[in-house]
Amino acid sequence: MHRVLLLLSLFFCTVAQAAPETCDAPWPAWESFKKTFISEEGRVIDPNTDDLRTTSEGQAYALFFALVANDRPTFEKLFNWSEKNLSDGDMTTNLPAWLWGKNDNDNWAVLDSNSASDADLWMAYTLGEAGRLWVDRRYVALSSLMADRILSTETKDIPKLGLVLLPGKMGFTPDEHRVRLNPSYLPLQLLRWFSAHSKDPRWVALTNSSLQIITNASPKGYAPDWTLYDDAQGYLPDTDGQQGSYDAIRVYLWAGMMNRDDSARRVLTDTFKPMAQFIASHGSPPQSIQVISGVANHPGSSGFSAAMLPFLQASGFYKSSDEQLKRIADQPIGEDSYYDQVLGLYGTGWFNKLYQFDSKGNLTPRWMSKCK
């Protein structure tokens, strides 16, 4: 198996370069997150759920944060738990199940074996970048195997749209003419990375269709949580309503963190300028907004404010960005609020330059540079 992994790493990724002297800057928010949400075995637990659930999304995000923090011991625990419990002990052949927790028989087990493609993207990407930054071919090879499995099981060719990333392996094609899509599952910098590190042209096709989905599903400048695409009618309201809330907040987050030299960043900041203007006039992002009418409910959490920091910066709304920072200081993110803490780690971590993405999606963590 080790020989197979080595061979796979050679065709998928460029040869890893030796890491320069590190800069181990402390990240208190990550240390707090670990103490609150990550078990000793490496399981990310959402304490606000009845089943004390763990999701593949949570494991993938935590792996990314561990890499940003240069926290290899925690990274290993997170990966080992994920492979053992979500991938039936072998991530080389099984994408992670998306949901794990306590079942009706009071046993800990997989509760839903379907996959979640956003988690799979983040996990495959983070494994590949961990292999490059920590010079570990095992992770590089695992990344390539996951990437191939994503292409083979979580994509579908759609007339007039091309190859698209499905939200999971099963359940997102209501009929032969329609597909249910989630724009927040499509971080373009990650898709750029797969396109750059793989010779498979399907990654370029996915990148192109993803930009179309994100922009065309948001005609008024507000991203929806979910959208339906119909072969004949184009984009339609999702069956659960056409609102942007807990999923959609990540669309702005991913867009804002894109490298300034990526041509798609300007497309997205132009597309979502109405959201930046909404925040400027209301003082905070909405918890939920009707994406066609622009009617919003009450203000979103401080985690939402943190998620919007990169986008407001990328859009030139610096005063609004400062206002969100003050809001976070005045109303700290709840210590036991798993999702808000995740948004906070992404948003403030990027804002404080603990990590960046280059134009090809490569991760540049602060610890790779000498302290000045």
Give the model confidence (pLDDT) of 278-306 as tens digits.
999 999 999 999 999 999 999 999 999 99
Q: Are 139 and 128 in contact (CB under 8 A)?
A: yes
Task: Please give the structure tokens belonging to residue 286.
Answer: 């909405």
For this structure, is 118 an active site residue? yes
Q: Are 361 and 204 in contact (CB under 8 A)?
A: no
- For the segment 261-282, the average pLDDT, to the nearest whole number, is 98
Give the dihedral sign, CA 213/215/216/220.
positive
d(CA 23, CA 35): 23
Task: Evaluate if residue 132 carries a pLDDT over 50.
Answer: yes
Q: What pLDDT, on a 0 to 100 scale, did the predictor assign at position 25?
A: 67
Please give the tally of structural domains in the chain: 1
Catalytic option among 71, 118, 120, 225: 118
Find the Cα–Cα–Cα–Cα dihedral 278, 283, 285, 291, rounded to 10°: -20
Phi, psi of 168 (to 5 degrees): -170, 180
pLDDT tens string 183-213: 999 999 999 999 999 999 999 999 999 999 9
Give the pLDDT band of residue 307 (cuts 50, 70, 90): very high
d(CA 361, CA 191): 8
- Centre a 10 Å sphere on the Cβ of residue 257 and count the other Cβ atoms it contains: 24
Q: What pLDDT, on a 0 to 100 scale, did the predictor assign at position 50?
A: 86
Smallest Cα–Cα separation from 280: which of 247, 241, 301, 311?
A: 311
Q: What pLDDT, on a 0 to 100 scale, did the predictor assign at position 369?
A: 76
Find the Cα–Cα–Cα–Cα dihedral 330, 334, 337, 341, rounded to 10°: 60
Residue type, position 247, single letter: D
Q: What pLDDT, on a 0 to 100 scale, did the predictor assign at position 24?
A: 61
Task: Evaluate if residue 2 carries a pLDDT over 50.
Answer: no
Residue type, position 336, single letter: D
- For the segment 81-106, the average pLDDT, to the nearest whole number, is 96
Q: Is residue 168 part of a domain?
A: no
Catalytic option among 57, 120, 129, 238: 57
For this structure, is 41 an active site residue? no
Contacts of 156 (CB under 8 A, 6+ apart): 163, 164, 166, 173, 179
Residue span of the structural domain in which 103 resides: 34-153
Task: Please give the structure tokens belonging to residue 200.
Answer: 């498979």
Q: Is residue 281 part of a domain?
A: no
Q: What's the CATH number where 149 sits?
A: 1.50.10.10
d(CA 343, CA 295): 23
d(CA 227, CA 180): 6
